[in-house]
Amino acid sequence: MISVRRLMRNLLTSGTLDTLDNELRRRVIILNLMIIAGFVMLTAFGTIALFETNVIRAIIDYALAFFIVALFVAMRIFRTFHFASYAATIAAGLVYLYIYFSPGPDSSGAVWLLSFPVIAIFNVGLRPGVVFSIVCVIVITASYVLGQIHTTFEIVNTIAGRLGSTQHSFDFVIRTIGTFIIIMLFSAFYEYVRTATQARLEEANLDLERTSQDLLNRKQQTDSIFKNVNDGIFLLNKSLCFDSEYSHALEGIINKTKLTKVSFLDILKDKIPEKAFTATADYLEMFFSPNANLELLADINPLEEAELNFQMGEGGFKTKYLEFAFARIGDEERLFKILGTVRDVTPQRELANQLLVQQDRNKKQMENLFQIIQVEPRLMKEFIADAEEELENVNAVLKSDEEDYRFILDTIYQSAHAIKGNAVLLGLETISGMLHHLEDDIRGLQDKEASWDDLFQLTVHLTEIQNELEIIRQLIDKIVSFQSSMASGSAGQRNLMLSYIERVINRLQEDLGKEVILSANRFSGDLISPRYRKTIKDVIIQLTRNALAHGIESPEERSVKNKQRIGTISIATERQDGNLTITFRDDGRGFDADKIRARAKQLAMFQNTDIDSLSNSQVIALVFREGFTSSDTATMHSGRGVGLRLVKNKIEAGGGTFKIRSAKDKYSEFVISFPT
């Protein structure tokens, strides 16, 4: 069944099927139909004529049948459809006219002729078809008229008689022509309406095609914008969920794929602080109010410079700095949407932050580095080790069950003071500054009951100091490995303790405007066992500091007193009766018992002591009591009443004893002994 239909379609379209445009296809089909019908009829007529032994008619019929078969084949081969249409139409016209004139049984040739306008118009189109039909009418009319004319020229009469349809009466011709014209007009009218409709239909179709192509182009454009733009562009509906149309970059910016119908607020939740979140929810909601003040809304955008913190698991965060902008689109309240854009400015912001941090860190590091490279690395390492030991001591107290806050604060203070002294000496300003603040904080707590919160704050400061020490340690390690790769070990290094003391002197004499030399001929570092090394070093440094700050006078004062302009500090070590004795002496102003007495009377801590009844050596001993200072202003170098107290505590903690000898304006001498 299907194959029959396909065969029919193939035959009728000359094998072109649907490849031709509609108009031409229609014509080819009509033509082929005509050809097939014509072939069948002509063959039939030819055969009939043969039976009637009308050989001429049979030959003509067969010849015509052959002609249209040839046409049919030519059409299939050459696809010259226009030529075929005209050829077939003209052939049909000629055959009909012949039949009309012949004139066939009962003049039935005229009946055939009547189908010509339909064939002509359908086959070659409106205008040529009408022209052909009119030509046909003219031929019929002319032949009738010619048949009625009797000219004086015999030859003309003969031709006219032969051609002229003398067989047809006037009435017959008139009716034939009338019917012919009516059929022609209707065919023409039908063809006109059909082609006009067809044209309009095609135009509409074309329009439609153009529009859809246009839409397609635009969609492709939007798609490509959405695909290639770096910013996040999105639409939010009234429930603040994403529309399906959003730029590809958005997914990367907010770290989430498949955003359609996802709530924007859900994305923000837990990524911005609570307060900002509530404000954002309120803010976006306001866009959907019909009387929203859009200008004002643009002004108060809470996500203008948003910081979104994305949780990365393991307690980590990835921070993104995003700039959002929102605008309302749609004219009708029902159709309101928020058009949002978001730009990721994380790299810029991070760079700016990093620069700031880096600048700060570099400044600190340069400061540290500058100091560190000037100081012998061994000294630096020792400083770090000592400082860490101090902090560990503090930490041990913090971790113990000790509940006496005063004692704890005191421990922290003394350790901080000891570290600070060395830090100042080595020029580590960041650390010494931090320690100085810590000391201030503890002093601020002197007169009140310290609370847990106070202790907490102090501990937090200690952790920061510890952290800073760690940073310096890392720096020193780098330098040491660098230096050791540069230089081979130096033999006969000077005793580290003496280097230290010389540093203290050099540094302080500049700051205090004094001139001092160190005499250490009778000093031997080898005598000091490692057990006492740190204690002795701390004590001697503190004593040196005190000597410079309080003991040794300015060069001018010394001149007035008839002393050498340059002061002398001497240290000596000695082993005696199994004891190690260290003698520290300065030729300064010595202890002035009267002055100490007067100072003690000013201090609140001695309110209940009868100062006047004490002996001179007892008065000197007051100097070692907590909170005693003879300098009125606390400077970084000394004062703060801890200097000598620290000496006393250190010696006692190390298991040693000490004696003081002093003569006013001549000298003071500390004799310190440790058991060996």
List the one residue from 266, 404, 464, 510 that touches other proteins (CB under 8 A).
Answer: 464
Please, which residue, 195 or 239, has the CB nearer to other proteins? 239
- Which is closer to other proteins, CB of 105 or CB of 316? 316
Residue 627 near residue 603, CB atoms below 8 Å:
yes
Asked if residue 552 lies in contact with residue 586, where contact means CB atoms within 8 angstroms, the answer is: yes
Choice between 70 and 460, CB closer to other proteins = 460
Q: Applying CB under 8 A, does 297 fall inside the site for other proteins?
A: yes
Residues ≥6 apart with Cβ < 8 Å to 189: none
Choose between 251 and 388: whose C-beta lies nearer to other proteins.
388
282 lies in the site for other proteins, by CB under 8 A: yes
User: Pick from 48, 357, 373, 653: which binds other proteins (CB under 8 A)?
Assistant: 357
CB of 445 to other proteins, least distance (A): 15
Nearer to other proteins, 296 or 487 (CB): 296
CA separation (Å) from 378 to 381, 420, 431, 505? 5, 18, 19, 19
285 vs 626 by CB, closer to other proteins:
285
Q: What is the DSSP letter of 17?
A: T
170 binds other proteins (CB under 8 A): no
Does residue 362 belong to the site contacting other proteins (CB under 8 A)? no
Q: Does 315 bind other proteins (CB under 8 A)?
A: yes
Contact 542, 569 (CB under 8 A): no
DSSP 378-447: HHHHHHHHHHHHHHHHHHHHHHSS---HHHHHHHHHHHHHHHHHHHHHTT-HHHHHHHHHHHHHHHHTTT
Judge whether 86 and 125 are in contact, CB under 8 Å.
no
**If binding is defined by CB under 8 A, does position 317 make contact with other proteins?**
yes
Cβ-based nearer residue to other proteins, 65 or 384 = 384
Mind spelling out the 3-state secondary structure of 566-583? CEEEEEEEEEECCEEEEE
How would DSSP label each residue in 216-274? HHHHHHHHHHHHH-SSEEEEE-TTSBEEEEE-HHHHHHTT-S--TT-BHHHHHTTTS-H
CB of 393 to other proteins, least distance (A): 11
Q: Closest approach of Cβ 598 to other proteins, in Å?
A: 41
Determine, following the binding rule CB under 8 A, whether residue 408 of this chain makes contact with other proteins: yes
Of the candidates 255, 251, 219, 258, the one whose C-alpha atom is nearest the C-alpha of residue 232 is 251
Select from 46-54, 151-159, 395-403, 435-443 the region that touches other proteins (CB under 8 A): 395-403
* Both structure tokens of 560: 């007035």
Considering only 110-118, 389-397, 510-518, 632-640, which stretch makes contact with other proteins by CB under 8 A?
A: 389-397
CB atoms within 10 A of CB 316: 8
Minimal distance, residue 398 CB to other proteins, in Å: 4
Site for other proteins in 221-280 (CB under 8 A): 270-276, 278-279
Residues in region 434-453 near other proteins by CB under 8 A? 452-453
How many Å separate Cα 499 from the centre of its chain?
A: 56
Kindly give, in sequence order, each residue whose CB lies less than 8 Å from that of residue 658, ignoring residues fewer than 6 positions away: 647, 648, 651, 670, 671, 672, 673
The three-state secondary structure class of 594 is helix
Binding-site size, other proteins (CB under 8 A): 58
* Residue nearer to other proteins on the CB measure, 69 or 398: 398
Name which position in 456, 481, 494, 560 contacts other proteins (CB under 8 A). Answer: 456
H/E stretch holding 651 reads: helix 643-653
Stretch near other proteins under the rule CB under 8 A, chosen from 19-27, 159-167, 206-214, 291-299: 291-299
Instruction: Catalog residues that contact other proteins under the rule CB under 8 A.
Output: 270-276, 278-279, 282-283, 285-286, 293, 296-297, 300-302, 304, 307, 309, 311-317, 319, 349, 352-353, 356-357, 360, 391, 394-395, 398-399, 402, 408, 452-453, 455-457, 459-460, 462-464, 466-467, 470-471, 474
